[in-house]
Structure 1
Amino acid sequence: MPDVNPPRLPAVLPNREHHPMNIRPAGPDDAAAIAAIYNHYVATTCITFEADPVSVADMRERITETLAANLPWLVAEGGGEVSGYAYGSRWKGRCAYRYSVESTVYLDVSKTGQGVGKVLYAALIEALRARSLHAVIGGIALPNEASIALHERLGFEKVAHFKQVGFKQDRWIDVGYWQLLLA
C-alpha cells in the first residue's frame, strides 16, 4: 500500500442542525467512548455479528492496529463528546487485495438521523481516497434501510447478497455488500 499521509480534515463541519461537529482522527484515548457506542449495537441489534461486549482494552487494540496499518479511524465530536466513528479495515489478507478495504460506521444512537453519519462517512471515504485505495466495501446486516440509504447516497452500489450467513438473537440474518470505486 502506498505510504500516503492522511488528508487534512476541516476542523469543524456543520451537521443538518447547524451544530458544530468536529471530525478528527481517533486515538487510543477514544476507546472508551467508541466501545460504549459499539456495545449498544452488540447488545441490542443484529447490525453487528459480535455477541459479547467489547472491552475498552480490546477496542484500544483495534484502533491501534488500524492506525498502524496506515488506515483511517475517525471520530465525530459534538459538544465535547464522541458521537460516532468510522474506519477502514483490510478487506482480505492476500496481497492482491491491498487496495481494497472494508468500511465501518457507527453512531451514538441519540445522534442518528441528524446528518452526522453522512458527514463522518464522507470524511472516511476521502481519507481512504487520499491513501490511494481503490475499492471500499461496506457490509450491511439486513434489513437495515438507514445504512443502505447512507451507502447509496454516498455512491455505493449493491454488489452481493448472502442469505442466512449470520445467526444472532435467535434468527438467521442476511448480509448485503455495497461497493464504491474510488478511482
Structure 2
Amino acid sequence: MTTVTFEEVTEQHLPEIREIYNYYVMNTTISFHTEELDIDQIKSSVMNKDTRYKTYVILENNQMMGYVLITQYKSKQAYDICGEVTIYLKPDILGKGLGKQALRFIEKIAKEQGFHTLIATICMENTRSKSLFERNGYEQCALFKEIGYKFDRKLDIGSFQKIL
C-alpha cells in the first residue's frame, strides 16, 4: 500500500528539490526561469524566513516525489491574507493523484496560518496544472498575454484563485 506523507523542508532536501525544479526550468514552460538555479537560489526560494510561508516535501513510501509550498503573493502588507501556492512533482510520477493530495494538504496549512485566499500562477500551456487547480475549486481571475518568453515563443500566464 502506498503511503503519502508531507515533511517540512530541510537543507537535506535541497539537492533533490533542485533536481526536480531544474528539470522544469530546462525542459518546460512551467517555470519561467531560463537558467538552472544553484543550491543557494533554491534555498532562498523554498526556505522562507517568515514562518507563515511553508514548504513541504511530498513523500511516497518515504521517497521524495516533489514539493509544495506557500510563498508571499506580494510584499505589501494588505496582501498578507493571500499566499501563492506552487506544486512541483517529479516528471515521471505525474497523473497519480499526488498533486491533489498536496493541494489539499497545503490548503489545510494555509488555513492554519491564517490565509484567506490562495493564488496559483500557471503558464497557460500547462494544461495539466490548470486542470488540477480548476478541479479543486480555483477560478481563473486573471490572464496576462505574452508576458514571458522562453523556447523562442511568447507565453501567457493565468492567475487562479481560491478563497479558503
Q: What do residues 89-125 of structure 1 show as CA deviations (whole Å, max 9, x unaligned)?
A: 1111111111111111010001100011110111011
Task: Trace 1:1-183 onto structure 2 (pairs within 5 A).
Answer: 18-65=1-48, 68-182=50-164
SS in 2 for 1:165: strand
Percent pairwise identity: 27
Higher RCO (CA-CA < 8 Å; seq separation 6+): 1
Which residues of structure 1 form unaligned runs of 5+? 1-17
Alpha-carbon distance between aligned partners in 1 of 2:60 and 2:37, rounded to the nearest angstrom: 24
2:123 touches 2:155 (CA, 8 Å); kept in 1? Answer: yes
Distance 1:57 1:81 in 2: 23
Any unmatched runs of 5+ in structure 2? none
Aligned 8 A contact 1:27 1:63 in 2? no
AA at the equivalent of 2:101: V
Cα distance in 2 between the residues matched to 1:61 and 1:168: 23
Q: Which amino acid letter does the alignment assign opposite residue 43 of structure 2? A: R
Aligned-partner SS, 2:65: strand
Please give the secondary structure, in 2, of the residue aligned with 1:98: helix
Whether contact under 8 Å (2:140, 2:161) holds in the other structure is yes
Could you tell me whether the CA contact under 8 Å between 2:140 and 2:159 is conserved in 1?
yes
Number of residue pairs matched? Answer: 164
Whole-Å separation in 1 of the counterparts to 2:83 and 2:147: 21
SS at match of 2:106: helix
Cα deviation for residue 27 of structure 1 reads 1.6
SS of the aligned residue for 2:155 comes to strand
Cα deviation per residue 1:131-161 (whole Å; 9 max; x = unaligned)? 1111100011012211111101211011111
* Alpha carbons 1:29, 1:60 under 8 Å: kept: no
- C-alpha RMSD of the superposition: 1.3
| TM-score normalised to structure 1 length | 0.85
Moved more, 75-84 or 143-152: 75-84
